[in-house]
Structure 1
Amino acid sequence: MSRTTFIIALCTIIAAQAKFPDDPKPCKYGDSECLLKTINYFVSEKHKEGDRSINLVKLDPLPVAKMNINQGADSPVNIDLTFTNNNLLGIGDITFIGVKGFGKNIDKKHELKFKVPRLSLVGPYDIKGKVLILPISGSGKSNMTMVNAELTFSFTGKSVEKNGEMYMEATNVNLLTKPERCYYQFSNLFNGDKALGDNMNAFLNDNWEAIFKEVQDSMQSAFAEIFKAILEKAFTKYPYAKYFEDS
């Protein structure tokens, strides 16, 4: 056996023997109380640097390369809003309050419910369109913040076989958001016209609830993909069964 073949074989054996870290200890299948404690531990303790032991990425701030909110012409809020190279701030302050699923059967619906005091998307934006009959356009820096929000992220698990082991991917992702308040701040609207820009920002914040209801579906779909990426990254570290203990 050549040196290269031996190293590959050794790595394969090590990978097959890999298991979920013992600190914190893995939960039993479907043990919602244990899962809540474990998830909250990783978010609260590891959000600044991530955790390579479970492929947990750095969460706060979380880089968002691109996110788009696009509302059709039939909506009172008819906009094409693109965020590029933004940061999502506040995930480290998330508290998970409910877990469903995560039993032995991967191909079931799973749900994570959590609340967050403040969740902000901050960075460059580009917008054009119409907001409640008023035209809007501009590009610059923005801050879009949800305050005291309760979110429910759900998905259907999909079994994927790799090297004879079963891994979990997420399909049919859905996010429901219920914020107490939203704030919007867009700099350099209308080519830097300060008066028009200030008036539009004031209008957006005075009418935040009506605007949020109109863009809610598009916004939730965009954020759902962000949370899906975090989840799937974590579940690529080990086969699904390695995250749990049988008894």
Structure 2
Amino acid sequence: MPGIAVSILFCLIVSTQALFPDDPVPCKYGDGKCIANFANTLFSKRSGKEDPSLNLWQLDPLKVDKMVINQAGNSAVGIKLTFTDNMLYGIKDQRVVGVKGFGKNLTEQHELRVLAKSYSLVGPYNIQGKVLILPISGTGVSNMSMSNIKMIIRFSGQPLEKDGETYLDVTNFKLTLKPASNSYLFTNLFNGDKALGDNMNAFLNENSDAIYQETSQSTDRAFSDLFLGLVKGVFAHRPYAKLFMEEKL
């Protein structure tokens, strides 16, 4: 995902030769094609590995300590859905297809466009509220999946001086997801009432497009919150100028 795209790219960009001797040197400022190719190489080669020396942990599956989708107000879907100790699958197969920004001006807007085959968030959940006309409640294990996702990550920043170096302090971070389809599975709904639970799961999937449309902004905020801390940590790890290669005159 997008925060994911940024995290892999900038944690490893200055270590390219050590990790992948056959790869090109780090990208020049603003070279979107190079940045996209570099990120996609890292997705396929590094997503399943952890390397503390590079401030990089396993990204597929990605450990999600907590995520909350809180849909309130006058929406037809009014829920509080909390995921704890979940795993997010699918990052290794995503690809960056467009890059803007990442020049020498830290305050400009940066953008990554990403395509992903699928994301699946799997693990314990708690849900309370209503879905369309039906009440829903439960605590158990869930699988919330999306397929053929178009993702856009946009953020800007401001310079942060530290130890005589300039770092990028990430601001105005926003992530949007547009899946072609999605599905839901919640075990132990309604205190384990199998008939009610089966009927609710069938109802959720029969109306999955309408449900996602109602909850898309809350879902985007939840994923943005998840990745913002990750991205800020990556940019705090190395001075901005050391993430790129200066173009020789």
Normalising by structure 1, report the TM-score: 0.89
Query: What SS does structure 2 have at the residue aligned with 1:105?
Result: coil
Write the deviation string for residues 11-67 of structure 1: whole angstroms up to 9, x where unpaired: xxxxxxxx9224242111000011011111222111011444642221011111111
Q: 2:14 — aligned with what?
A: 20
Q: 2:58 — aligned with what?
A: 58
Say if 1:83 and 1:124, in contact at 8 Å, map to a contact too.
yes
Q: 1:241 — aligned with what?
A: 241
1:165 aligns with 2:161: no
Q: CA RMSD in A?
A: 1.4
Q: 1:89 — aligned with what?
A: 89
Q: 1:124 — aligned with what?
A: 124
Q: 1:76 — aligned with what?
A: 76
Query: What SS does structure 1 have at the residue aligned with 2:188?
Result: coil
How far apart are 1:133 and its partner, in Å? 1.2
Query: What SS does structure 2 have at the residue aligned with 1:74?
Result: coil
State the one-letter code of the partner of 1:90: G
Q: 1:189 — aligned with what?
A: 189
Partner Cα distance (2:98, 2:197) in 1? 41
> Equivalent pairs: percent with the same residue?
50
Partner Cα distance (2:143, 2:186) in 1? 7
Query: What SS does structure 1 have at the residue aligned with 2:14?
Result: coil
Larger radius of gyration: 1
1:229 aligns with 2:223: no
Q: Which runs of 5+ in 2 are unaligned?
A: 1-12, 18-22
Query: What SS does structure 2 have at the residue aligned with 1:185?
Result: strand
Partner Cα distance (2:14, 2:71) in 1? 42
Q: 1:47 — aligned with what?
A: 47
Which segment drifts farther, 54-63 or 147-156? Answer: 54-63
Say if 1:80 and 1:129, in contact at 8 Å, map to a contact too.
yes
Normalising by structure 2, report the TM-score: 0.88
How far apart are 1:232 and its partner, in Å? 2.5
Q: Which runs of 5+ in 1 are unaligned?
A: 1-18
How far apart are 1:226 and its partner, in Å? 2.3
How far apart are 1:189 and its partner, in Å? 0.3
1:114 aligns with 2:91: no
How many residue pairs were aligned? 229
Partner Cα distance (1:167, 1:152) in 2? 23
How far apart are 1:176 and its partner, in Å? 1.4
Query: What SS does structure 2 have at the residue aligned with 1:63?
Result: strand
